[in-house]
Amino acid sequence: DAGITQSPRYKITETGRQVTLMCHQTWSHSYMFWYRQDLGHGLRLIYYSAAADITDKGEVPDGYVVSRSKTENFPLTLESATRSQTSVYFCASKRRRGRELFFGEGSRLTVL
Amino acid sequence: TQLLEQSPQFLSIQEGENLTVYCNSSSVFSSLQWYRQEPGEGPVLLVTVVTGGEVKKLKRLTFQFGDARKDSSLHITAAQPGDTGLYLCAGVAGANNLFFGTGTRLTVIP
């Protein structure tokens, strides 16, 4: 009963490098989301996806790329990491008609 | 961006005390959710309130949605150390638009 899993849990990288955070869910939920959590800002939506091959921007999409070729996976890529992207990233999923978000345990990214 | 402000930002109380956390916005939401997050984990849903003026109880936790559906409160009676965590409100403004508040970090001291 894995639910929703994120990897890696911790990542340290350098400015300018490409980083991909993985998210996998076993519930076949239609919707998947990527949030970043920063002190004083709460959770801010980066991108979301309503179904495979359907993605849309959230509040803070700049510098991020997502894809969703399969319903269960929703990777988030930082094409050229910057220090301002140091954060804790949370993936979440939701049933099509549900209200509740189910979150992963988070990926802590540090960009040096 | 629909801003949701929570107060207080930090709260440290003794076991057995009561407390109230507030979530305020100038925007109207179709519903409002409260999540609790523990260190190293993702947020977990506590409750969803839908109707203006609605009150929901979850054991020692009481949630209220404002009449105008712009604000909400969370009241905890006789707080216990297990209540320690980050409490997040989230306003729902459409099928996929969930806006999170800035959070209230609660510490209950035994």
Q: What is the pLDDT of residues B52-105, one digit of tens each?
A: 999 999 999 999 999 999 999 999 999 999 999 999 999 988 767 788 998 999
Residues of A in contact with B90 (CB under 8 A): 43, 101
| Range list of H helices, B6-109 | none
Dist. CA A110–CA B38, nearest whole Å: 21
Dist. CA B106–CA B80, nearest whole Å: 11
Is the pLDDT at B2 greater than 70? The verdict is no
Nearest Cα of chain B lies from the Cα of A90 at a distance, in angstroms, of 7
Among all residues of chain B, which has the CA nearest to that of A101?
A: B45
Which residues 74-103 of chain B have a CB within 8 Å of chain A? Answer: 88, 90, 92, 96, 98, 100-103
Dist. CA B75–CA B4, nearest whole Å: 18
CB A17 within 8 A of CB A106: no
The closest CB to that of A105, out of B1, B41, B90, belongs to: B41
Nearest Cα of chain B lies from the Cα of A106 at a distance, in angstroms, of 6
Give A62-90 pLDDT, tens digit per residue: 999 999 999 999 999 999 999 999 999 99
Give A6-32 pLDDT, tens digit per residue: 999 999 999 999 999 999 999 999 999
Lookup: tokens for B9 = 């930002």
Size of chain A, expressed as the number of residues it contains = 112
Confidence (pLDDT) at A47: 95
